[in-house]
Amino acid sequence: MFHLFNRRGGCPCCDPEFASRREVLKAGIGVLAGTALLSESAVAATLPSVRGLNAERYGTEDSFNGVYFRDGKYDREALHKLDWVFRDLSAAEVTPMDPRLFDVLSSVATRLEATEPFTISSGYRTPEHNASNARRSRAVSTVSLHMSGMAADFRLQGRDGYGVARLAAQMQMGGVGYYRQGFVHLDCGPPRRW
């Protein structure tokens, strides 16, 4: 089950428990870091050799629909295009997104056999933008993975958001949030849900 506590809008994105684990990781303590690497390689082994994504940015004309991974590596030009789609709109700032986020989105779309685009409402967030959101809503984490280019909020056209979130949670590829407004949050951090 997902907890629909986000009544005032916005996106919590990271729960407090994960926030403290993230601090541990940043401190460089090896046990958790080793666990993360193991799970990453296990996930990577299940990913297809050619990976594509269909995504558009809400409120803009910006979109990407194509392959971003082939021949054993990420396509740099495709990643640049995706970074633009997932940029911080309000701060007009682009950052290199973590490509594992695209793997998560791509895997969910594949599992759903979805051909419709992800309509991205939030991707990268500058620390200033995230802090502003956090001041407006206590539900927004001050250590959101959006600030690390590891998270996206979206709707998938023609699909029920709750169903998308439930499937994504079953896939255990990262964090999954479902919001009352029908938005889904996915990230490439440790598997968790809210």
What is the DSSP secondary structure assignment for residue 88, as one 8-state letter? B
Token pair of 61, please?
A: 């004309």
In whole angstroms, what is the distance from residue 181 CA to residue 44 CA? 32
Tell me the site size for Zn ion, rule CB under 5 A: 5
Looking at the Cβ atoms of 3 and 29, the one nearer to Zn ion is 3
For residue 175, CA distances in Å to 61, 107, 157 come to: 28, 14, 21
Q: Are 189 and 21 in contact (CB under 8 A)?
A: no
Please report whether residue 11 would count as binding Zn ion according to CB under 5 A: yes
- The minimum distance between CB 31 and Zn ion, in angstroms, equals 27
Q: Return the residue of 153, 156, 164, 194 that touches Zn ion, per CB under 5 A.
A: 153
For strands 63-70 and 51-57, give the pairing: antiparallel
- 117/177 with CB nearer Zn ion: 177
- 129 near Zn ion, judged by CB under 5 A: no
Site membership for Zn ion, residue 13 (CB under 5 A): yes
Tokens 């409402």, located at residue: 121
Q: Between 69 and 133, whose beta carbon lies closer to Zn ion?
A: 133
Site membership for Zn ion, residue 185 (CB under 5 A): yes
Can you give the binding site for Zn ion, defined by CB under 5 A? Answer: 11, 13, 151, 153, 185
